């Protein structure tokens, strides 16, 4: 697996995708922490150094997943990361093209029971939307 930064442009997405495919990589983790999203923070800790994770990169991560999914077309599994802390946020990652999810920041702040919460909320959303097979929603967000 290869973990990809959210701080890349479309040209880099194409090049990274080419390298992943040429080297028969089985999965990519999208995305790592971001160094360029700090200007959107609205609290007194926005001046601190280090990469951002969790909610501050949720949209950026989902958009990156969507772009990689369009290029990779299911040939490489995508593990979605960034702001997953509810069934709704998990659903969005799957719609963008994630095959699996990785939790970190959400688990740090909400504890290991977050997994049960996400599963419960996600199941309710899938049932409400009439989804019979989970694969029906992967990559369906344009």
Q: With the CA atoms of 42, 29, 90 and 35 taken in that order, what torsion angle do they form, in degrees rounded to the nearest 10?
A: 0
Fold of 2-32+52-132: TIM Barrel (3.20.20)
**Which DSSP letter does residue 83 get?**
S
Task: Give me the residue spans of the domains in the chain.
Answer: 2-32+52-132
Nearest to 30 by CA among 42, 113, 71, 114: 71
Q: Return per-residue pLDDT of the chain as tens, 142 residues.
A: 999 988 889 999 999 999 999 999 999 999 876 555 555 555 555 555 555 555 667 888 999 999 999 999 999 999 999 889 999 999 999 999 999 999 987 788 888 899 999 999 999 999 999 998 888 999 997 6
Global pTM value: 0.85
Backbone angles phi, psi at 10, to 5 degrees: -60, -40
């Amino acid at each position: 697996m290869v973990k990809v930064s959210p701080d890349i442009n479309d040209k880099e997405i194409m090049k990274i995708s080419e390298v992943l495919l040429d080297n028969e990589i089985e999965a990519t983790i999208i995305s790592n922490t971001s160094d360029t999203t700090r200007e959107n923070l609205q609290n007194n800790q926005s001046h601190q150094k280090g990469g951002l994770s969790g909610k501050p990169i949720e949209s950026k991560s989902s958009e990156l997943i969507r772009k990689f999914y369009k290029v990779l077309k299911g040939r490489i599994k995508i593990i979605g990361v960034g702001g997953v802390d509810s069934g709704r946020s998990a659903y969005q990652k799957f719609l963008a093209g994630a095959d699996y999810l990785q939790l970190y920041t959400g688990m740090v702040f909400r504890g290991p029971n977050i997994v049960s919460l996400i599963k419960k909320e996600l199941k309710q959303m899938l049932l409400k939307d009439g989804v019979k097979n989970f694969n029906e929603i992967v990559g369906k967000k344009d």
